[in-house]
Amino acid sequence: MRRIADYGIEWYEEPLPPLNFDGYAALRARAPIPIAIRHALSLSWVLSTVAVSIILKNAAVQLWGPEQVKFPSPFGETVVLIGSAGIFPQELFIIVAALGTVFAVQLFLRRSLFGKALIAVAYNRNAAAVMGINVRRMVVFAFVLSSALAGLGGILIAPVTFAWAYMGTTPGIKAFAAAIFGGLDNPIGILIGGLVIGVLEQLFGVVNSNLKEGITFFFILTVLAMRPTGLMGRREITKV
């Protein structure tokens, strides 16, 4: 038995049973990764999955058309009044679902053996491989998990917007801005960053509707100039 003391992982030398990941997430993960996984310090594998994503989006447009489809909310369209402000029940549900999802993912990563192995690979993939963890399988699982979370986000926002192949483009850019705010290694900070960006968009939208979308990009540039690791991110110190 081998042990990773830093994460409290006890890992047997026998390999894990094979996992069969099918569908969109596995296709995105398995197609480009076998070529680019050799470059541990490169972002080529991330860029390659973006290319695969564009191909799949265009394929979806060809199959189902470019029309935007209204996705009905199970909570109805009645506006809930909170003081002088109004909010849809679906929007309240999005807040609750986001908090619950972050809590569930953190519980999985910190308490389960599989989640700790995923953290170990993210922290140091070479050391994790030496300890017997299947790095390739963890990378594929990370893509499957992230794609599942993205799909959940699409289901949540579809009743507020419209469902179509490119519905995730604008929210994806805003999610990237939230990640920059909170730091890529700080899930709680990313959640707070999303709330901050949403509040800023609404405040600037009251002043001028044209500023509502531009504030996100201005926010990204400002944070990167002030603190490249994010306002809540941790700076890494490398010994040479």
- Provide the pLDDT for residue 234: 63
Note the pTM of the prediction, 2 decimals. 0.70
The CA–CA distances, whole Å, from 122 to 90, 98, 145, 216 equal 34, 23, 14, 28
- Provide the pLDDT for residue 14: 36
For the stretch 214-224, pLDDT in tens is 777 787 788 77
- Provide the pLDDT for residue 107: 93
The two three-digit tokens of residue 2, written as one number: 């081998």
- Provide the pLDDT for residue 93: 92
- Provide the pLDDT for residue 117: 93
The three-class DSSP label of residue 167 is: coil
- Provide the pLDDT for residue 179: 82
For the stretch 59-93, pLDDT in tens is 988 888 888 888 888 888 888 888 777 888 898 89
Q: What is the mean pLDDT of each run of 10 residues along the chain (240 residues)?
A: 42 38 47 49 68 87 86 85 82 90 91 91 88 88 88 89 84 82 78 83 79 76 76 61
Helix (H) and strand (E) counts in the chain: 10, 4
- Provide the pLDDT for residue 206: 78
The length of the chain in residues reads: 240
| Cα gap 43→17, rounded to integer Å | 29
Q: Residue 116 is which amino acid?
A: K
Residue 95 has φ and ψ, to the nearest 5°, of -65, -45
- Provide the pLDDT for residue 40: 45
- Quickly tell me which residue has 């986001």 as its tokens: 98
- Provide the pLDDT for residue 232: 66
